[in-house]
Chains A and B, each alone.
Chain A
Amino acid sequence: MSKPIELLGQPDHATQTGKGWRVSTRWKERMGSFAIGGLLPVGLLVIWQLAGELGLISTFFLPTPTMIFAAFGDLFASGDLAYHLGVSLKRAAAGFAIGGSIGLLLGLVAGFSRYGEYVLDPSVQMFRMIPHLAIAPLIILWFGFGEVSKILIIAKGAFFPLYINTFLGIRNVDNKLIDVARVLSFKRYKQFFLLILPASLPQLFLGLRLSLALSWLGLVVAELIGSEAGIGFLMTIAKQNSMMEIIFVGVILFAVVGKLIDSFVRLLERRFLQWQDSYKG
């Protein structure tokens, strides 16, 4: 009983200490979860390294982590790494920008208008079912081995997740809140910015994450088909010259950069969806 009164009596003091305490425990918690998450991969790395050093596995087929790290260091020092990674990132970004924005746009049209849905959705669903590798020969015949083909293949992957999640996000807006907007006589653009956009934001973020992930995965297909630069190119060359370490560097780069991009979007998500009241585990 006395606690709330105390809090009321010294509000500043109470909130300040409250905050300081929370920050420090949260930081500790994060470090703790980081350590737990790192346990498995670090353990595996140690076993891998030992197995290579003791000659239990052939380092030709499976180079040890230190060998891979050395290859990474060489690539980094020569500037090749930055160059090829830059080329790949630019490609993925261009493909994502094109495919994602078309997906977003068509998703908005299909979401807002039932006629839009009738016209667009069946075609989009069919288009979605065409695999990258099935359409790649056509794209290459039409646009050659140049940059355009690669960006188109990436764009094709980025298109669909944003389309479907924008569409569903809009369609899942609570009708009860739409009634509120009617009762309060919101203008159309206010209804969009105050209600529909924030209400569909969680699903939009999901679309954004999936779309970015598929751009990044589409990049591999695009670059392995034939290219003169990029991480995929590095890996193709390494394959031809049996440089296992560099293939591993490529695989790891795809994983790490992909994860970093995803983490960045999740950071944005957390920042914009603070208001959400959902199960957090």
Chain B
Amino acid sequence: MSATNLLHIQHLSKTFQSAKGDVKALHNIQLDIQEGEFVTVIGPSGCGKSTLLKIIAGLDVHYKGTVSLGDRKVEGPGIDKGFIFQEPRLFPWLTVERNIAADLSLRKPEIRQKVDELIELVRLKGFEKSYPRELSGGMAQRVAIARALLRNPKVLLLDEPFGALDAFTRAHMQEVLLDIWQRNRTTMIFVTHDIDEAVFLANRIVVLKPRPGAIQNIIGVDLAFPRKKSSTAFHQLRFKVLSEFDKIEELELVGGAGI
């Protein structure tokens, strides 16, 4: 691989302490992600995929092992790590453009220009002055994406961002996101529980298994864009991911943990 290594995760383990005792959420995760990659993380619920993303974002710093972005250890949240939550989480008292700018001033010409470009990029022209309550779920999530992109993050972390959207809006949002990725080449780490979504977007798919969360397998996807969800190659990859899930299920049954 000639591309530079952007994210470096080594021996990452995470344990939650609770009244009933300790719960191991992540066990010995090893993962390297290159600059410009689109990585999707998929796994059954309870596999710690959101926890992994929060740790990369710096929102959770109580873990064992090392996580570094570029040549710096992740020690807290920062604008170099954009984060998209499952819900848009916009500020209801700010208009679309002011939500995107947030703590940056729209009066600065360079910010103004970038915000306008981003509004164009996420296809929200004409809604600059709208309030969040006037937007649909998909539009609001696009505002959130623009807000993260304005800060030029080294990596964009997306935590099931389209999970709450209907199937059509979701398909549209996937295309919008791919379009952004192809233009900006921002490194993307995208957590999902939807196999189609994982295959449609990724260069590589990280399959996690639960209890404790660990990497089951990493599957490379070398389908050309634009991808067709109805193509044979797409389905072959889909089966590959599904067979990993089958293996996880067998392990669960052998282990007696159940689901």
Which 5 A/B pairs are nearest by Cβ-Cβ distance? A277-B133, A275-B93, A190-B103, A198-B93, A183-B83
- Given contacts A187-B103, A199-B93, list 6 more A-B pairs with CB under 8 A: A180-B85, A183-B82, A183-B148, A274-B131, A275-B94, A277-B133
Taken together as a complex, chains A and B put the C-alpha atoms of A274 and B94 apart, in Å, by: 10
Query: Does the CB pair B91–A183 fall under 8 Å?
Result: no
The listed residue (A184, A274, A275) touching B103 by CB distance below 8 A is A184
Among B57, B78, B103, B148, chain A packs the most CB atoms within 10 A around the CB of B103
The answer to whether B79 and A195 touch across the interface, beta carbons within 8 angstroms, is no
The CA of A211 and the CA of B75, in the complex, are separated in Å by 44
In the complex, per-residue mask of A169-210: 1 if CB is within 8 Å of any chain B CB, else 0: 000000011011011111100100011001101000000000
Contact with A along B78-113 (1 / 0, CB 8 A): 110111010101011110000000110000000000
What are 27 A-B pairs at a CB distance below 8 A? A176-B85, A176-B87, A176-B89, A177-B89, A179-B89, A180-B89, A180-B91, A183-B57, A183-B82, A183-B83, A183-B148, A184-B79, A184-B147, A184-B151, A186-B103, A187-B103, A190-B103, A194-B94, A198-B91, A198-B93, A199-B93, A201-B93, A274-B131, A275-B94, A275-B133, A277-B131, A277-B133
> Are A276 and B92 neighbours in the complex by a CB distance under 8 Å?
yes
User: Which bucket holds chain B's interface residue count?
Assistant: 20 to 34
Contact between chains at A182 and B77 (CB < 8 Å): yes
**Taking CB as reference atom, which chain A residue is nearest B103?**
A190
User: Residues of A contacting B131 with CB < 8 Å?
Assistant: 274-275, 277
Q: Which residues in A have some Cβ–Cβ distance to B below 8 Å?
A: 176-177, 179-180, 182-187, 190, 194-195, 198-199, 201, 274-277
A18 to chain B, nearest CB (A): 15
Q: Is B180 an interface residue (CB 8 A)?
A: no
Chain B residues within CB distance 8 Å of chain A: 57, 59, 77-79, 81-83, 85, 87, 89, 91-94, 102-103, 131-133, 147-148, 151
Q: Are A277 and B103 in contact (CB under 8 A)?
A: no
Interface contact A184-B59, CB-CB below 8 Å: no
A269 to B182, CA, bound (A): 46
Q: Is B92's CB under 8 angstroms from A275's CB?
A: yes
User: CB-CB < 8 A to A195: which residues of B?
Assistant: 91
Write the chain B residue with the least CB distance to A275: B93
B78 touches A185 (CB 8 A): yes
Q: Is the CB of B103 within 8 A of A194?
A: yes
Kindly list chain B residues whose C-beta atoms are within 8 Å of the C-beta of A179. 59, 85, 89
From B77, B85, B131, name the one whose CB has the most chain A CB atoms within 10 angstroms.
B77
Shortest Cβ gap from B223 to chain A (Å): 32
**Chain A: minimal CB distance from B116 (Å):** 19
Q: Measured between alpha carbons, how far is A182 from B57 in the docked complex, in Å? A: 10
With known contacts A184-B147, A186-B103, A177–B59 Cβ distance under 8 A: no
Contacts of A180 in B (CB 8 A): 85, 89, 91
Q: Closest residue of chain B to A198, judged by CB?
A: B93
Name the distance in Å between A161's Cβ and chain B's nearest Cβ.
23
CB distance from B199 to the nearest CB of A (A): 28
Residue of B nearest to A177 (CB): B89
A183, chain B: closest CB distance, angstroms: 4
Residues of B within 8 A of A198 (CB): 91, 93
Task: Check A182–B59 contact: CB distance below 8 A.
Answer: yes
By a CB distance below 8 angstroms, the chain A residues around B103 are 184, 186-187, 190, 194
B33 CB to nearest A CB, Å: 19
Q: Which residue of B lies closest to A193 (CB)?
A: B103
Cα(A176)–Cα(B131), bound, Å? 19
CA distance A190 to B77 in the complex (A): 16
Residues of A within 8 A of B85 (CB): 176, 179-180
Most buried by A among B59, B82, B91, B94: B91
CA distance A198 to B99 in the complex (A): 13
Measured between C-beta atoms, what is the minimum distance from A270 to chain B in Å? 14
The answer to whether residues A194 and B147 also contact, given A176-B85, A275-B133 and a CB cut-off of 8 A, is no
Report how far A275 CA is from B78 CA in the complex, Å: 28
Instruction: List residues of chain A with CB within 8 A of the CB of B91.
Output: 177, 180, 194-195, 198
B85 to chain A, nearest CB (A): 7
B89 near A184: Cβ-Cβ < 8 Å:
no
Give the distance to chain B from A78, nearest Cβ to Cβ, in Å. Answer: 49
Contacting pair A185 B79 (CB below 8 A): yes
Bound-state CA distance A186–B78 (Å) is 9
